[in-house]
Structure 1
């Protein structure tokens, strides 16, 4: 658990300001829970050959988009009305950035659902589903932990997610090499295997967005921007 000194939220003279900040956090976590569910359902739609579930995922994307716009408006109003400073300002600015990452995770879920429908119509690919399950579970855990790190303002947990991102990249590269080898050995399955490769790419991107959220959590808690920096440098920031 983060130390009390790392808590972004102070007690403001205005109780309404406190309520607005807490509402912003709550709505962000609601959106996070929805996109996490979207990715999970899209993977199940693919593996279970369930085109109806895939259609539901695609339809729900409109709700994700609306939540993004609502949160952007809410954060902008707080900036205009309250003119927050220090940690409060970092929270609001970070939420604006992280909402964009969540919306893009929703887009990746929609993309996976689209390919799930395509493969349901063409016939499932002969290879790649084990890799989809494995990488899917990995990036879902990262996304869940990133949202939990935000909820608890836990910079150390956020740092662990940054470390995991490299592992996901390595798993993605290994999976694509396996599929490429299989396609060269049996060209009849190129089209369906290419769909699986696009799905793996979408999952790898979900991991990237989870990492982006983790980086913003560290910024909120520590006040230092760790984007585009090696994990070793982020470790120094979190350790201070």
Structure 2
């Protein structure tokens, strides 16, 4: 089982990483929240453990951004105190569980096992079929008739968003957040640019424009 550990305390994260490895986890240990977020989005992890207090942006912001990106990996937040407000904010942001430092390692391991069991029971829909397209989100491939088309990660996220909302308008704001996150400094015009990229690759699919609002995928098979 592959685990991403994000914590700024080097001694703590080193000892925790060693413990987790002894328990059979494959651990990637990161101290930078921005790098950690990129790894969480583009990597393939079964679990994420992160500190509430992180540089650049805190753990709650990290969780929110990851959920906006559509990443459903179970996350356990480590909080520095038992402040009720922090705990509630962690869970409301999209975290699956939390643990107050200092903690008993047996409790941590038990929580990770519970999250692992929960993940194993989930049915992950990696393949979508809409409007004559079959999208494999895990491989960034879309099949159109006998043609197999390779998509970039952003193009895959865009097409997945349109397919999951087939027939309904998806606003440009929602697409922007899905592809780049609400705090991104990217230009808003990138939404139109990626729609153009997608249309060039799957031109026979009817991606409709609702001027000044957004786009939708017309479900015509």
Q: TM-score range by the shorter chain?
A: under 0.3
For normalisation by structure 2, the TM-score amounts to: 0.26
Higher helix share: 1
Normalised TM-score (structure 1): 0.25
Which one has more relative contact order, counting CA pairs under 8 Å at least 6 apart?
Answer: 1
Of Structure 1 and Structure 2, the greater strand share is in 2
